[in-house]
C-alpha cells in the first residue's frame, strides 16, 4: 500500500505538492500564531539569540574586513584604488617591501585626462624618522599629489599642501621642493611640533631633508602619519627611479575611474573604495583568523541555543505531534513540521541579526570615531546579508537533529491519553 | 446532516469494496500486554500488564458499539487498536477487511487517514489553529487543495452548528463547541469508522446531549465505537460490550 494508490482524482505529483505546501502553510501559520500570541516567549527568545549571535558575527567580521583592508593608512575618500597584484615585482627593494606600481606620476597624468575623472594621485608610503628638536619619532610618511580640492588621504586632509607636485618636473625630479608636511595630531604631539615648525625627516641614516609643518590634522587620532608631496618623498626614499608608489588613488565617477585605472594598469588590482573587498580577508592572516573564529563561535552558539530551545519547544508540543499522527500525518510529515519550524525560527533570527549587525557596525564606528580611531574601524559589505543568513541556516541544520530526535520519541498513546 | 452521499464524492475501488462490506471493524482474539516490548514482533521477560484477553467482536457499518467498564478494563486499549495506534500482542484487528496487525507503521497511518476518525475526551484541538484549520487538518495529508479544504471544513462546521465560529481559536470556544469541532475534524476525511473516547466526559448534560445527537446522526451510515462510563452516552449505542479486567464480561 502506498500513497500512489490514494483514491483522489488528482495526479500523484499534484497531491504530493498539496501535501507539502499544506504542511508548510500549516507550520507557518502555527509558528506565526505562537510568535505573536501569549506564549511567544520561547520563540522570541530563540529568535533573539540567533539575531544577537549573527549580529556579533557580522560586527567581528566587519572589524576583520576593516583590518584586512588596511586600517588607517587606506582611509581615503578616493573613488578607486589601484594596487599591484602580488606577482608584480616592481619593488624598489625586492623581497623586503611589497610590490609597487611603476611610472605612477606619469600615468596619474594620463588617468586625470579621462572624462569623469576628477583627480588621480600616486600614494607612496614610507616609514620615516622625524625630529623637531627633541627625540626623533617614527612616523608613517605618505606621499601624495594634491590638486587644490579638499581631499583626504590616509585620514589626513591635503588642503594644507601646495597644489600639484612641482619637484617632479616631468620626471626630472629637479623642480623646486615645497618642503611642506601635514602631521596627524598624534604625530605632532609626539614630536612636540605645531604648524610653522621645521622638521628633519629621514628614511635612512644617509638621507635627511628639512620640512616645514603646514598644518596639524585634528581628524587623525590613531596612528602617527604625515602627508608630503609624492615626488619629494620619492626622492628622499629612492623611489624616484621608476616613479614608484604603493598605490594609485582616483577621484571621480566610479565607472570612469575604474575604466581609467584598468587602462593605465591592466594587470593591477582595481577596487572601488566605497565598498570593501571581502576577498581581502583571505589575504590577511589576522583578519582571516578573526573572522573564522567568529564564524565557528557563531555557528556553535547559535546551533546550541537553537537545538536546546527547539528541543524544549518540541517537548512541550508532543501533544500536537500526537494529534498529527492520530489524523494520519506520517512520521516524515511530522518531522517536517519540526524542521520547518526550526528553519523559520533561524531564518527570522538571521534577518533580524543582519539588521542588528549593520546597526552594531554603525555603533562601533560611532564609538571608535568619538574615542580612539580617526574613522571607521568596521565595514559593512552587502555580502554580509547572505553571509549572515547562510550562517544561521547552517546553525539550524546543525541544530535540527536534536528537536527531531525529541519528536521521534513521542508516544501518541501517552499524549492522547492525558 | 451527515449523510455520506452529501459529502465529498471521492470514489475508488478500495473504498467501494470496503463500504459494501457489512463489517467495518472486526476484532479476532485480541490480547494485549503492556510492557511486553511494544507489540507482537518482540517478546520480553519484563513484567507485563495484560490489558486485553482474547477479545472478539464485530461492528457492522451503520451501527454504534458502546464499550463500558471500569477504569483499566481495556476500553481505551480497544479504541487505540481499532484506530491503528496500537498493535495488539496477539490476535487480529480487521478494519474494512484489512488486517491492521499485518501492516507497517506507515501503512497503518495511511489506513487511519482514510478510514478512521477519532474523537478524544479532551478534544485535542491544536490551540494555535482556528476551528476551520483544525477541521481541515486531516485533509492536508490527504492532498486536498486549499480551497477544497476550506470549503469542506466550513460545510462541516455549519453541519455541527458552528458556521459562525470557524475563525475562532479553540481557546475562544466553549467545551461543547470544542467537542463539536473535534467531531467535525473526525468527519473531514469522510471515514468509515469513528472511534470516540468518553466524548461527553468533559461536557455538561445539555451539551453532552447535543454531542450524542451528532454521534447518532453520524452512526447511521458509518460504524461508531464509543467508550464511556456514562449510561446516557451508551444509550445511543445499538450494542454495548461490558469489559472487566480486559475481558468481555457482557454483551447486550
What pLDDT score does B251 carry? 87
Q: Which residue has the higher pLDDT, B114 or A282?
A: B114
Predicted confidence (pLDDT) at residue A98 exceeds the cutoff of 90:
no
Q: Which three cell numbers stand for residue B200?
A: 461527553
pLDDT confidence of A13, banded at 50, 70, 90? Answer: confident
Minimal-distance CA residue of chain B relative to A32: B128
- Which residues are bridge partners to B68 per DSSP? B242
Q: Quickly state the pLDDT bin for A376 (edges 50, 70, 90).
A: low
Asked if residue A231 and residue A83 are part of one domain, the reply reads: yes
Q: Is the residue at B5 inside a domain?
A: no
Mean pLDDT of B125-140: 91
Q: Do B146 and A324 touch (CB under 8 A)?
A: no
Q: Which of B111, B128, B139 is facing A34, going by the closest CB pair?
A: B128
Residue B7, in any domain of the structure: no
Q: Show residues of chain B in contact with A330, CB under 8 Å.
A: 106, 109-110, 141
The reply to whether A322 falls in a domain is: yes
Task: Check B86 against A37: CB less than 8 A apart.
Answer: no
Judged by CB atoms within 8 Å, which residues 36-55 of B form the interface with A? none
Residue B2 in domain: no
Co-location of A180 and A270 in the same domain = yes
- A228 in the same domain as A82: yes
User: Cβ contacts (< 8 Å) between B182 and chain A: which residues?
Assistant: none
Residue B47 lies in a domain: yes
Kindly state whether residue A5 falls inside one of the protein's structural domains. no
Chain A residues touching residue B112 (CB < 8 angstroms): 326-328
- Range of the structural domain that residue B75 is part of: 12-251
Residue B6 DSSP label:
G
- Tell whether A118 is covered by a domain: yes
- Report the pLDDT value the prediction gives residue B9, as an integer from 0 to 100: 38
Q: Is residue A135 part of a domain?
A: yes
Which of B140, B186, B201 best tests the A interface by mutation, with the highest count of A CBs <10 A?
B140
Which residue is it, cell 587606506? A74
Share of chain A above pLDDT 90, in %: 23
User: Which residues make beta-bridge pairs with A202?
Assistant: A129, A208
In the block, residue with C-alpha cell 616609514: A127
Q: Is residue B90 part of a domain?
A: yes
Q: Which of B15, B80, B141 sits opposite A19 (nearest CB)?
A: B141
Residue A169 and residue A241 in one domain = yes
Task: Please tell me if residue B137 touches chain A, with a CB cutoff of 8 Å.
Answer: yes
The pLDDT assigned to A78 comes to 73
- Is the same domain home to A301 and A248? no
A263 occurs within a structural domain: yes
Note whether A130 and A237 are same-domain residues. yes
Confidence of residue A385 (pLDDT cuts 50, 70, 90): very high
* B25 and chain A in contact, CB less than 8 A: no
| pTM confidence score | 0.66
Could you give the percent of chain A with pLDDT greater than 70? 86
In tens, the pLDDT along A188-222 reads 888 888 889 999 998 887 778 899 999 988 754 56
Check pLDDT > 70 for residue B180. Answer: yes
Among the partner residues B106, B124, B185, nearest to A416 by beta-carbon distance: B124
What's the average model confidence in pLDDT over A227-238? 91
ipTM field? 0.82
In a domain, A10, yes or no: no
- Cβ neighbourhood burial of B37 (10 Å; 0-12, 13-18, 19+): middle
Inside any domain, residue A319: yes
Structural domain contains residue B1: no
Residues of chain A found within 8 Å of residue B139, distances taken between Cβ atoms: 22
Domain boundary among A275, A298, A325: A275
Using CB atoms and an 8 Å cut-off, which of residues 200-219 of chain B contact chain A?
Answer: none
Per CB-CB distance under 8 Å, the chain B contacts of A37 are 128
Does residue B60 sit within a domain? yes
Q: Is residue A44 domain-shared with residue A132, that is, in the same domain?
A: no
pLDDT digits (tens, 9 = 90+) for A265-322: 888 888 776 556 667 667 667 778 888 888 888 888 888 888 888 888 888 788 888 8
What number is the average pLDDT over the span B21-43? Answer: 73
The domain that holds B170 is classified in CATH as 3.40.50.300
Mean pLDDT of B69-91: 91
Residue A355 falls inside a structural domain: yes
Q: How many helices (H) and strands (E) does chain B have?
A: 8, 10
- What pLDDT digit, counting tens, does each position of B44-68 carry? 455 788 889 999 999 999 899 999 9
Q: What is the mean pLDDT of residues A81-100?
A: 60
Q: Which of A8, A37, A327 to mutate to test the interface with B (most CBs of B within 10 A)?
A: A327
Mean pLDDT of chain B: 83
- What's the pLDDT at B16? 41
Total count of domains within chain B: 1
B4 in a structural domain: no
In total, how many domains does chain A have?
A: 2
- Boundary-marking domain end, from A225, A251, A275: A275
CA–CA distance, A321 with A27 (Å, rounded to integer): 12
Q: What is the pLDDT of residues A131-182, one digit of tens each?
A: 888 888 888 899 999 998 888 888 788 889 999 999 999 889 999 999 999 9
Residue-number span of the structural domain to which A102 is assigned? 73-275
Taking the CA of residue B20 and the nearest CA in chain A, the distance in Å comes to 17
Residue that is last in its domain, among A244, A275, A306: A275
Domain check: are A40 and A106 in the same one? no
Amino acid at each position: 500500500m502506498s500513497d500512489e494508490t490514494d483514491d483522489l482524482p488528482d495526479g500523484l505529483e499534484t497531491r504530493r505538492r498539496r501535501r507539502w505546501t499544506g504542511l508548510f502553510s500549516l507550520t507557518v501559520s502555527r509558528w506565526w500564531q505562537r510568535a505573536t500570541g501569549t506564549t511567544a516567549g520561547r520563540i522570541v527568545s530563540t529568535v533573539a539569540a540567533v539575531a544577537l549571535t549573527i549580529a556579533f558575527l557580522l560586527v567581528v567580521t566587519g572589524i576583520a574586513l576593516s583590518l584586512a583592508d588596511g586600517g588607517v593608512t587606506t582611509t581615503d575618500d578616493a573613488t578607486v584604488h589601484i594596487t599591484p597584484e602580488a606577482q608584480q615585482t616592481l619593488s624598489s627593494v625586492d623581497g623586503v617591501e611589497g610590490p609597487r606600481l611603476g611610472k605612477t606620476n606619469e600615468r596619474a597624468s594620463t588617468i586625470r585626462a579621462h572624462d569623469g575623472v576628477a583627480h588621480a594621485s600616486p600614494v607612496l608610503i614610507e616609514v620615516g624618522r622625524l625630529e623637531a628638536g627633541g627625540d626623533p619619532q617614527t612616523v608613517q610618511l605618505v606621499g601624495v599629489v594634491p590638486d587644490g580640492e579638499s581631499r583626504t588621504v590616509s585620514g589626513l586632509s591635503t588642503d594644507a599642501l601646495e597644489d600639484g607636485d612641482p619637484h617632479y618636473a616631468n620626471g626630472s625630479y629637479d623642480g623646486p621642493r615645497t618642503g611642506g608636511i601635514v602631521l596627524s595630531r598624534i604625530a605632532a604631539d609626539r614630536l612636540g611640533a605645531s604648524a610653522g615648525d621645521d622638521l628633519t625627516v629621514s628614511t635612512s641614516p644617509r638621507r635627511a631633508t628639512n620640512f616645514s609643518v603646514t598644518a596639524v590634522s585634528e581628524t587623525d587620532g590613531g596612528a602617527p602619519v604625515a602627508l608630503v608631496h609624492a615626488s619629494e618623498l620619492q626622492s628622499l626614499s629612492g623611489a624616484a627611479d621608476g616613479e614608484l608608489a604603493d598605490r594609485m588613488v582616483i577621484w571621480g565617477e566610479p565607472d570612469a575611474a575604474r575604466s581609467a585605472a584598468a587602462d593605465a594598469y591592466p594587470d593591477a588590482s582595481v577596487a572601488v573604495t566605497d565598498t570593501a573587498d571581502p576577498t581581502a580577508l583571505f589575504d590577511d592572516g589576522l583578519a582571516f583568523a578573526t573572522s573564522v573564529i567568529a564564524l565557528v563561535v557563531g555557528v556553535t552558539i547559535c546551533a546550541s541555543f537553537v537545538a536546546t530551545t527547539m528541543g524544549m519547544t518540541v517537548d512541550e508540543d508532543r501533544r500536537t505531534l500526537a494529534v498529527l499522527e492520530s489524523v494520519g500525518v506520517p512520521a516524515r510529515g511530522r518531522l517536517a513540521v519540526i524542521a520547518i519550524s526550526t528553519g523559520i525560527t533561524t531564518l527570522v533570527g538571521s534577518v533580524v541579526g543582519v539588521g542588528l549587525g549593520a546597526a552594531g557596525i554603525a555603533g562601533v564606528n560611532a564609538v571608535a570615531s568619538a574615542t580612539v580611531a580617526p574613522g571607521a574601524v568596521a565595514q559593512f559589505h552587502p555580502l554580509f546579508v547572505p553571509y549572515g543568513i547562510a550562517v544561521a541556516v547552517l546553525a539550524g541544520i546543525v541544530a535540527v537533529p536534536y528537536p527531531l530526535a525529541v519528536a521521534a520519541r513521542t508516544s501518541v498513546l501517552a499524549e492522547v491519553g492525558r | 446532516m451527515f449523510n455520506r452521499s452529501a459529502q465529498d464524492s471521492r470514489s475508488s475501488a478500495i473504498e467501494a469494496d470496503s463500504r459494501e462490506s457489512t463489517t467495518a471493524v472486526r476484532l479476532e482474539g485480541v490480547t494485549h500486554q503492556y510492557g511486553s516490548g511494544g507489540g507482537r514482533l518482540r517478546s520480553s521477560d519484563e513484567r507485563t500488564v495484560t490489558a486485553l484477553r482474547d477479545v472478539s467482536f464485530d461492528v457492522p457499518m451503520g451501527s454504534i458499539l458502546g464499550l463500558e467498564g471500569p477504569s483499566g478494563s481495556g476500553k481505551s486499549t480497544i479504541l487505540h487498536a481499532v484506530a491503528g495506534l496500537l498493535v495488539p500482542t496477539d490476535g487480529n484487528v480487521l478494519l474494512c477487511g484489512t488486517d491492521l496487525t499485518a501492516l507497517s507503521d506507515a501503512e497503518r497511518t495511511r489506513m487511519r487517514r482514510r478510514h478512521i476518525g477519532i474523537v478524544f475526551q479532551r478534544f485535542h484541538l491544536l490551540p494555535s489553529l482556528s476551528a476551520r484549520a483544525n477541521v481541515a487538518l486531516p485533509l492536508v495529508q490527504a492532498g486536498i487543495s486549499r480551497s477544497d479544504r476550506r470549503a469542506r471544513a466550513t460545510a462541516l462546521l455549519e453541519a455541527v452548528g458552528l458556521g459562525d465560529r470557524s475563525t475562532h481559536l479553540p481557546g475562544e470556544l466553549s467545551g461543547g463547541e470544542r467537542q463539536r469541532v473535534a467531531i467535525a475534524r473526525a468527519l473531514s476525511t469522510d471515514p468509515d469508522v469513528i472511534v470516540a473516547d468518553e466524548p461527553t466526559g468533559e461536557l455538561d448534560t445539555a451539551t453532552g446531549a447535543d454531542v450524542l445527537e451528532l454521534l447518532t446522526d453520524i452512526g447511521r451510515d458509518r460504524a461508531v465505537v464509543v467508550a464511556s462510563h456514562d449510561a446516557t452516552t451508551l444509550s445511543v449505542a445499538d450494542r454495548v460490550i461490558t469489559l472487566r479486567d480486559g475481558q468481555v464480561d457482557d454483551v447486550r
